[in-house]
Structure 1
Amino acid sequence: MPTDHHLDRRTPWLTDDEMRAWRNYMDGSQRLMDRLNRDLQAKHDMTLADYRILVLLSESPDGASRMSDLADGILSSRSRLTHQIRRMEEQGMVTRDSCVEDGRGVRAVITDEGLRRLAEAAPMHVREVRANLVDIVTKHQLKVLGDVFERVNRTIESR
């Protein structure tokens, strides 16, 4: 909280418990994402962003997604996604083609190499998610965590 001479009485400053929760969330989520990213890069030569894209593409019925839908799915700007897909394309993990429906949109398509690399990285990634989150909290805490961020996502999406 700011010093008293900067205190704005109209601002609902965080209580000690609220500040503790907020700071632990920021620090813990950043450390977790950094750890997962570092492990994927060191052991599988891919970033967490690459992994997320490969997962989404692998889950689509034809292994493809419009770039605009993919950007929404990974919460990325379209320009950042375009750069990411270009890099992944150079590594043989994805290709791009035109959308059959209208011919104007561009789709990202997972390749056999992308599927192979995802299958190779997934077991280690899941072990790390378990070791650093899932297995260190209770089932109730995990449910609450899921509920909380479902609510956060809905609230932000609706604004």
Structure 2
Amino acid sequence: MEIRAAEPADATALEPLFTQWGHPLEPGDVTVQVRRWRDTPRAKLRVAVIDGEIAGMAAIAAVPRLGEVGYSAKLTGLVVGDRHRRRGVGRALLDDVTALAANWGCDRIELTSSRIRDAAHAFYVALGYRETSAEQARYVRAL
């Protein structure tokens, strides 16, 4: 398995992953997203490739914290294709983006996950993540 940066040429192969993740995008929008992540400092979209096929993707970005000194890494997406699940792809992607975050000076990784994704939650807990939703409220406002 190879983990590498996503490139615009990967857009067609990434489309099904966005759909499986529950966030389908138009073909041109996938290319825009890949370029955006490629060109943003301290933000990366990484892909796992097995036998020439993109098996999964993970997106991470460093965010400075205001209330305390330091950076958090925000895992904004992790998805492994249906055919490649339970084969170490998700763990390999998380190991990769964790190393990136550490190199950026981040001291923690934060993520949000839909309440319906029980298997994903168990996966994160098994890798040492702790649920904090009882400690904080999350609010979203469209612009």
The TM-score normalised by the length of structure 1 is 0.28
**Structure with greater strand share of residues:** 2
The TM-score normalised by the length of structure 2 is 0.30
**Structure with greater helix share of residues:** 1
Structure possessing the higher radius of gyration over alpha carbons = 1
